[in-house]
Chains A and B, each alone.
Chain A
Amino acid sequence: MIQAIELTRKFHGTTAVDRVSFKVGAGQTLGLIGTSGCGKTTTLRMLNRLIEPTSGRVLLGGRDVAHQNPECLRRAIGYVIQSVGLFPHYTVEDNVAVVPRLLRHDEGQISRRTAELLDLVGLPPAAYSKRFPHELSGGQQQRVGFARALAADPPVILLDEPFGGLDQITRGQIQRDFKTLQRCLGKTVVLVTHDVFEAVFMCDQLCLMDRGIIQQSGTPADLLFEPANDFVRDFFRSQQFLASLQVVRLCDLSPHLPFDAPAPGRTPLLTVEWDISLLDLVQQFQNHDTASLVVSDADGTKILNTTIPSLLAAFWKLCADRRKRPE
């Protein structure tokens, strides 16, 4: 869906972004991560031509963006920034309607779409559509920001640290909500963040950048368990455990866990998906010493009787296996 080819950007002789290449498939989420000043935001802004590359190309759906009118290009790409940037003189409704109005959509269609989107981001239009941005909390403002980015139904959404300005609890909620939304709308997303946990939680693919150069690209598990160099290892170190719990899914642990066929008469405590992350699973039954899980997949339904310590034991084993592999 999006492809960056050897993207380079120089500012006054220093190279902010140096030959960055990546591909994002339709419906996928790519995370551009790294410390401040590593060039991740510059890279993102080259995708919708807010910054023009010094050299290199960006292909969107196979077409070179350099040949498109920059305004038309941007209207076809959702864009959300950390400081939100809602128009303070517009109501919530009018803020969401900005791009559809730029595209001269029919007004009736716009108001239907606006109401639908506000519902989707968890702000009932009856209560919120006529409010002004200053009457909303930071989290609510960012929800409006997402609704605004989705308004013209763009296939691609660019997010520049959209959760950065929010408190821990609000951030977690909005991250989950956005992830669900993105999955069910099938949007292709490029997310810029410096937050390790957010990156592994939200993204299918990661590009870790430092001083304008990609240090490593791959799935979150690749970067966590098989760091290409010391920089990558150090970057994840502080959140290694939590990030690993998030990355590892129940299905990854199946070789190490005793699954049974379902037996009549036993009522399982939880019904979960195969690909639930270990972190979610642990959180779901942290109030119980033992849990009986029902897992369904294409092959049928399986039952798992397990405890948190045995889940963690399986997890350590998996981690050890993954780390050994490169050697």
Chain B
Amino acid sequence: MWEHREEIGVQTVEHLGLTLTALAGASLLGIPAGLLLTRWQRLSGPSLAFVGVIQTIPSLALLGFLLPWLGIGVIPAIVALFLYALLPIVRNTYIGVEEVDPAVKEAARGMGMTGFQMLARVELPLAAPVIFAGVRTATVIGVGVATLSALIGSGGLGEFIFRGIALNNPHMILAGAMPAAMLAMGLDAALAWIQPRIRRLLKPFAIVFALTSLALMPLVIIPAFSGTDFLAAFPTEFMERADGYRAMSQVYDLQLDTTEMDVGLMYQALKEGQVDLISGFSTDGRIQAFDLQVLEDDKHYFPPYAAAPLLNGETLRRHPEIREALALVSGRISNLAMAHMNFRVDQGHATPHQVAKDFLESPGIAGLPGSGRGPND
């Protein structure tokens, strides 16, 4: 892990930048929003339900959902983190102010405080611990969700984690997970320390926070806009493995600007024009669906990646008929046919079962010339 220390450092800073930027935005919007809801009680139910619904959207789904509008990179990652941070902050602000002892509010009003004075001198100071608890919850959630933003090429400690998962390398997973966990605990502890001192620290804290955010924001956002004319997106595994991007760039003498991205999101990002090149599966149905173009491997860099059914030997001994059934289709599915079948399934027109059945019942199956290759990478 030690040889990666520099990279860990960079990713930690990226991670911190993503989290803090989103958190600052969510606090700046969420706390006033929570306060407004205490004044407009009728809006509180629907509004809290709405931010609650956002919270229930799975992280990856939210990133995919934002893709058509915000593309990939740091901006959608910050927006997603911001949306996740809203619920705890808005709800805790609302509850914190609502829970202030009614006798105290009554006394404050009876002494002639205006609405704003009540808020600034009584309700906010008394609600501060609850509001802080919300910000702390949002921070911990944010550090966690920020790892996922590595899937849309926004950096952060998630890069290590997903690389480690792809390469089945637990050390690499830990190299990302441990700093992330420490970051979460560290930020939480820092906020816990600040909370009782908030009244004294409000000004210096706001200044430091603003400066940190300002300092980190360019680090995080500028790379997003220092956009290149031609951007390639590859899954983490392809970036790392020996027969992946590194070797390919040598064979083809390519110097591409690359970003790491989740396999599932790549095709859509290409369709939306967010990236210009991806490493796809030539049999993927979306190639046809999104009208994508498969490039020719004229230097034969990629070996054929034929799909090979793997069976447990014991299972095969007990059911020898499986061998015969598989032999029937072995070498009989062309790339094109495979892509077409994937297309039918991916577009949701048919179930895999139906597509397979149609294929087996197609009249030409026996006469198909075996290409000798299965579905290729």
- Enumerate chain A interface residues (CB-CB to B < 8 A): 48, 50, 70-76, 79, 81, 83-89, 98-99, 102, 145, 148, 158
Contacts and interface: CB of A to CB of B under 8 A. Distances in A.
Given A88-B126, A89-B125, A102 B103 contact: no
B106 A99 contact: no
Interface of B: 101, 103-114, 117, 121-122, 125-126
B112 A99 contact: yes
A321 B36 CA distance: 64
A46 to B, nearest CB: 13
A89 B114 CA distance: 19
Contact of A75 (B101, B106, B111, B125): B111
Given A85-B110, A86-B107, 18 more contacts: A74-B112, A75-B111, A75-B112, A76-B112, A79-B107, A81-B110, A83-B103, A83-B106, A85-B101, A87-B107, A87-B121, A88-B101, A88-B104, A89-B125, A99-B111, A102-B112, A102-B117, A158-B110
B126 A50 contact: no
Nearest to B101: A85
B112 A87 contact: no
B104 A102 contact: no
A75 B114 CA distance: 11
Nearest to A99: B111
Contacts of B117: 102
B125 to A, nearest CB: 5
A81 B101 CA distance: 13
A136 to B, nearest CB: 15
B121 to A, nearest CB: 8
A74 B113 CA distance: 8
A114 to B, nearest CB: 15
A71 B114 contact: yes
A87 B122 CA distance: 7
Given A83-B103, A88-B104, A48 B110 contact: yes
Contact of B113 (A88, A102, A158): A102
Contacts of B126: 87-89
Given A87-B122, A89-B125, A102 B107 contact: no
A98 B110 contact: no
29 contacts: A50-B106, A70-B112, A72-B112, A73-B112, A74-B109, A74-B110, A74-B112, A75-B111, A75-B112, A76-B112, A81-B106, A81-B107, A83-B106, A84-B103, A84-B107, A85-B106, A85-B108, A87-B104, A87-B108, A87-B121, A88-B101, A88-B126, A89-B125, A98-B111, A98-B113, A99-B111, A99-B112, A102-B111, A148-B111
A89 B127 CA distance: 11
A76, A86, A89 interface centre (most CB from chain B within 10 Å):
A89
A100 to B, nearest CB: 10
Contacts of A79: 107, 110-111
